[in-house]
Amino acid sequence: MSGNGNGIQRSDFAAIAEWVRPGSRVLDLGCGDGTLLKYLKSKRNVSGYGVEIDDENILACVKNGVNVIQSDLERGLSEFEDRSFDYVILSQTLQAMKNSERIIKDMLRVGREGIVTFPNFGYWKNRLHIAAGYMPVSDNLPYQWFDTPNVHLCTIADFERFCRERRIRVVERKVLTNGKAVGLLPNLLGALAIYHFGNGAAK
């Protein structure tokens, strides 16, 4: 499983960095070229590892000075001990996982808390594409229907229901459009959702 958006300025990185406590241990699933981990190392002095499947990304991680384990996320996280990380991050990869539910569970087994980012399918521009009769293609969803790796797209409302039903506690949420925070009508006006969650029922 390879993270989307290599080399692109990723607006979710700064948002994630704000949540991550300095000096914590981080596991970045589908870490791509290691940019996020490198960023968190420099901004938050974190330690940890990335998980990647793609050869070129493994090489890029080594060049970026980031620890990386070549592995297929679809196989699960059996290499990693329970509660061995402060945060497990899944950045713009959830929608491309075959088994999205299992990875979320595994994230909360291996980490104390999880951070997940995904393109909000409920964003008005996506709705407009659908209303016009076509699958959405945008900066956050840059693929055509026939070549997309995104098999499990969801909306903000979908994800929150998913968390509620599984007693996953949402700690914080940020919704961004073009890198700017969205307050009003997030499921309609937000392009990118970022969730910070943990075990246990919502407060």
What residue ranges bind another protein (CB under 8 A)? 23, 25, 47-49, 55, 58-59, 61-63, 65, 67-71, 79-81, 84
Measured from the CB atom, the residue of 62 and 181 that comes closer to another protein is 62
Measured from the CB atom, the residue of 62 and 128 that comes closer to another protein is 62
* Distance of closest approach, residue 48 Cβ to another protein, in angstroms: 7
Measured from the CB atom, the residue of 83 and 164 that comes closer to another protein is 83
Distance between CA 79 and CA 81 in Å, rounded?
Answer: 7
Measured from the CB atom, the residue of 49 and 123 that comes closer to another protein is 49
* Distance of closest approach, residue 36 Cβ to another protein, in angstroms: 16
In contact, 93 and 29? CB cutoff 8 Å: yes
* Distance of closest approach, residue 26 Cβ to another protein, in angstroms: 10
* Distance of closest approach, residue 58 Cβ to another protein, in angstroms: 5
Question: How far, in Å, are 19, 174, 192 from residue 14 at the CA level?
Answer: 9, 11, 13
Query: Residue 162: enclosing H or E segment and its boundaries?
Result: helix 156-165
Question: How far, in Å, are 45, 79, 98, 148, 163 from residue 101 at the CA level?
Answer: 30, 19, 9, 20, 10
Distance between CA 80 and CA 174 in Å, rounded?
Answer: 28
